[in-house]
């Protein structure tokens, strides 16, 4: 994470990121020079959306309705402005490439997380199966030993 985004939340993160991009866009040699600020802007926008729609409580959703709606609209305006600046500086379609690549990476991360969860479930099931097998074997051995002891005691 870029230092610009440390400790900032929502609209403040979007605004700091936009300010950084505006002041550095003309001197950036390539998109990597401002990539951290773009990531910070996306992170701030995500926080705004989470704040706006993430609360399960009715009170939480209506408490600051005006500010969350305005923050979301301000973030959208600033992101549109950044789209124009980035496309102007690095060529038409650059912003869409960034959006597409970001969506692809988010999807890949979700799929990797699902795969990790599947493997973890599989390991847990294997451990349960091993315990059950061990229990069954121990019970059979116990019955055999008990049968042998009874046989020799009676016989």
Give the tens place of pLDDT for each residue, 36-95. Answer: 899 999 999 888 888 878 755 555 555 577 888 888 899 999 999 999 999 999 999 999
How would you classify residue 126: left for phi > 0, otherwise alpha for psi between -120 and 50, otherwise beta?
alpha
Q: What is the pLDDT of residue 95?
A: 94
What SS3 class is residue 122?
helix
Q: What is the pLDDT of residue 26?
A: 85
Contact (CB, 8 A) for 1 and 38: no
Question: Above pLDDT 70, what percent of the chain?
Answer: 88
Whether pTM > 0.85 for this model: the answer is no
Half-sphere exposure of 12 (CA within 13 A, CB side): 6
Helix then strand count (H, E) for the chain reads 5, 0
Q: Angle, nearest 10°, between helix axes 94-154 and 65-90?
A: 120
């Amino acid at each position: 994470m870029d230092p610009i985004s440390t400790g900032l939340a929502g609209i403040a993160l979007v605004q700091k990121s936009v300010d950084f991009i505006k002041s550095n866009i003309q001197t950036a040699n390539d998109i990597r020079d401002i990539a951290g600020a773009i990531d910070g802007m996306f992170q701030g926008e995500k926080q705004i959306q989470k704040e706006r729609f993430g609360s399960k409580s009715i009170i939480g959703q209506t408490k600051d309705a005006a500010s969350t709606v305005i923050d979301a609209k301000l973030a959208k305006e600033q992101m549109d402005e950044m789209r124009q600046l980035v496309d102007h500086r690095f060529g038409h379609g650059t912003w869409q490439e960034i959006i597409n690549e970001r969506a692809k990476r988010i999807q890949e991360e979700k799929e990797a997380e699902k795969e990790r969860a599947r493997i973890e479930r599989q390991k847990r099931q294997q451990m349960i199966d091993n315990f059950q097998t061990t229990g069954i074997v121990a019970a059979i051995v116990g019955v055999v030993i008990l049968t042998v002891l009874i046989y020799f005691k009676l016989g």
